Amino acid sequence: MKIYREKDVDSFALAGREVAVIGYGNQGKAQAMNLRDSGVKVVIALREGSERMKTATRDGFRVGKIEDVVGRVHVIAMLIPDEFHMDVWNKYLKGRLREKAMVVFASTVAVHFEGMTFDSNIDVVLVGPMGPGDALRSEYRAGRGLPAKVSVMQDASGRALDMCLAYAGALGCARVGCIETTFKTEAELDLFSEQVVLCGGIPYLALRAFEVLIEKGYPPEQAYIETVQEIRAIADLMFRYGIDGMRRRISTTALYGGKVAGESLIDDEVRDKMLSLLESIRSGRFYKKFKGERPVNRQELEAIPDDMREAREKVSKLFISDVDRLFGR
């Protein structure tokens, strides 16, 4: 596995070049600010009438309509949700970009599963920070960074990799490391990890555990702390030391109970379900289903039980108002 670091970055590759950031959500705002603080000339490109135009302007950026901006800049960062990539490319970018311009994707899901193709005279790359925009921005400001996944899909200029790494470096990602991958691998692994571990496995496991405790009469606030709040402590240990290192740093009771319960809960039936989910992703069935159900009702998807929401709110207030007293500060 190839990992690029700051020593591999040509810091002058972006000199004198202008970057258009399409989108000003969580990732777009963070990337735009990091680029600007790294000395890169940035313009925010949005659809006409976008509510985010005022926000970007207040943040000190030049703002323009996508169709008015993309033809004159050297780099275009597609930082909008995956499901809009194809439409925005076809409507605003296709055939309009300057020779040897570079299009940067932070996610390759739409590119891979929708079979997107691009003008032959441009570079197409992936720079995918491994974390949300808030973390990308805060790590940059702290003098650190988030790792990123990088890949070159199309190299018309002969310098696509240099430009890709320069962009990643300007985000602060090369401070930690940029992992070389492919568009296909990134798309499939990203969806699998989201569904099985990060956004499906962990949250739903915590939710079911919370429901069991409430059903048996335990106080909701304490149930929430045990099933949700304490995830961070174990996640931090796993991040720093790996699963084996985490196991060496927990109590014997926790180690034994975790092994017995883990092998019982996450059994061969669960493994078979994981394989089924992976096959659905790789075959394109999941993405086809996702696109077929647009527009998605986010309110419905975000819904959690009322007792869990109430417990979270009470715990949040407790930790915000009494944190100094609780921890003796």
Q: Over the stretch 228-279, which tens digit does the pLDDT of each residue have?
A: 889 999 999 999 999 999 999 999 999 999 999 999 999 999 999 999 999 9
**What is the SS3 assignment for 17?**
coil
pLDDT at 327 over 70: no
Q: 189-225 pLDDT, tens per residue?
A: 999 999 999 999 999 999 899 999 989 999 888 888 9
pLDDT at 105 over 50: yes
Q: 41-60 pLDDT, tens per residue?
A: 999 999 999 999 999 999 99
**Helical H segments across the chain, by residue range:** 26-37, 52-58, 66-69, 85-88, 109-113, 133-141, 160-171, 183-193, 201-215, 220-224, 231-248, 252-265, 268-283, 285-292, 298-302, 306-326
Q: Which residue has the higher pLDDT, 123 or 315?
A: 123
pLDDT at 104 over 50: yes
pLDDT at 296 over 80: no
φ/ψ region of 242 (left if φ > 0, alpha if ψ in -120 to 50, else beta) reads left
- CA dist., res. 246 & res. 249, Å (int): 5
Q: 138-157 pLDDT, tens per residue?
A: 999 999 999 999 999 999 99
pLDDT at 282: 98
Q: Which residue has the higher pLDDT, 249 or 312?
A: 249
φ/ψ region of 266 (left if φ > 0, alpha if ψ in -120 to 50, else beta) reads beta
Judge if pTM exceeds 0.75. Answer: yes
pLDDT at 11: 84
Please check whether residue 119 is in contact with residue 94, taking contact to mean a CB–CB distance below 8 angstroms: yes
The overall average pLDDT reported for the chain is 92
Please report, for the chain, the start and end positions of each structural domain, with discontinuous segments joined by +: 3-181, 191-326
* pLDDT over 70, % of the chain: 94
pLDDT at 326 over 60: no
Among the four given CATH numbers 3.40.50.300, 3.90.1660.10, 3.40.50.720, 3.10.105.10, the one describing domain 3-181: 3.40.50.720
Q: What is the mean pLDDT of residues 2-25?
A: 96
